[in-house]
Amino acid sequence: MNIITPTIKKLLETWLNEDIGRGDLTQLALNDDIVNAYWTSKQAGIFCGGDLVKYLYQSLDTSVIITLLKSDGDTMRAGERIIELSGPIPSLLAGERTALNIAMHLSGIATATKKLVSQLEGTGILLADTRKTTPGLRPLEKYAARCGGGINHRLGLDDAAMLKENHIAWSNGIAQSIQALRKSIPWTTKIIVEAETIEQAKEAASEGADGVLLDEMAPSQLQTLVPDLRKIAKKAAKEIIIEASGIDPKQIQKYAYTGVDIISTSAPITQSTWIDLSMRFSEHLPNK
């Protein structure tokens, strides 16, 4: 899926503007020479943000030329070259900070996701993100999670009807809520229930929920609950997706053999740190 949608284009222009403000004051001391530069990573990790950086620089100055040596999702070693650019010095410097900030942040998320995904390799369990995302960056942070090998949970409140703890508390119960939703939401949309207890999970399965989140349950609990839920769903002639959530990411391997389809965690987004990238200048081109 092409990440450069109209919404993302507008976002990138806003971000550029956030840094440039009323204009880059220091440009006044610079000449207009065309130079070559490159990006390099100071750490190993998963790269993310190349297409965004390319669009950002081109919206700043169409004469900047960018070659991506790594695609989003590629592994990068410490010291490796990632991007090569050439263009007028004032343009390269005016976009530098914003471009690096985007790629450093997103590469941090892709890298943290990859680490957890690796621990689930071979188990058939997918790693999903959550709606705990930095405000304004959700589509991009979820893209970074995909680049790290993860799968996305719903993108917003409009993307699936999910009965969470508080919804259940304030509605007329799981069964009635599922029936009410079935009649009012788009038929193309799934209904998912977050269960705090075994009883809630079983009710969700027997009422035909498309998915169930088992929140903060121990591996031992899951080992008996998961097959029970599959049986209940089968009886209702439904396939049910079972997700374990609220798990300490350090304990993730203990959940690898619980039979769940998906483990969701906000950690790659809320507990990750940036990957250190930097831009360096190589050689001087004759001014155009």
Restricted to residues 153-192, the positions that interact with a second copy (CB under 8 A) are 153-164, 166-167, 169-172, 176-177, 180-181, 183-190, 192
Residue number, 220 or 231, with CB nearest to a second copy: 231
Please check whether residue 162 is in contact with residue 190, taking contact to mean a CB–CB distance below 8 angstroms.
no
Select the span of 39-47, 65-73, 114-122, 230-238 touching a second copy (CB under 8 A): 230-238
Q: Does 283 bind a second copy (CB under 8 A)?
A: no
Determine the size of the site formed for a second copy (CB under 8 A).
105
Q: Does 196 bind a second copy (CB under 8 A)?
A: no
Strand-pair partners of 128: 151, 264
Shortest distance (Å) from residue 164 CB to a second copy: 8
The question of whether 261 is a catalytic residue gets the answer no
Please check whether residue 55 is in contact with residue 9, taking contact to mean a CB–CB distance below 8 angstroms.
yes
- Torsion 39-43-49-50 (CA) sign: positive
Residue number, 220 or 280, with CB nearest to a second copy: 280
Q: Rule CB under 8 A: choose which of 69, 73, 119, 126 binds a second copy.
A: 126
Q: Rule CB under 8 A: choose which of 119, 123, 221, 270 binds a second copy.
A: 270
Please check whether residue 279 is in contact with residue 38, taking contact to mean a CB–CB distance below 8 angstroms.
yes
Quote the tokens at residue 123.
Answer: 């188990």
Shortest distance (Å) from residue 197 CB to a second copy: 17
Residue 234: Cβ within 10 Å count:
12
Question: Dihedral (C-alpha) 246, 250, 255, 261: value to the nearest 10 degrees?
Answer: 60
Q: Does 122 bind a second copy (CB under 8 A)?
A: no
Please check whether residue 49 is in contact with residue 102, taking contact to mean a CB–CB distance below 8 angstroms.
yes
Q: Does 212 bind a second copy (CB under 8 A)?
A: no
**Residues 78-117 vs a second copy: string with x where CB under 8 A?**
-----------xx--xx-xxx-xxx-xx------------
Shortest distance (Å) from residue 150 CB to a second copy: 10
Q: How far apart are CA 141 and CA 160, in angstroms?
A: 19
The question of whether 97 is a catalytic residue gets the answer yes
Q: How far is CA 68 from CA 53, 161, 182, 232, in A?
A: 9, 39, 46, 50
Q: Does 18 bind a second copy (CB under 8 A)?
A: yes
Residues annotated as catalytic (active site), given as ranges: 97, 132, 164, 194, 215
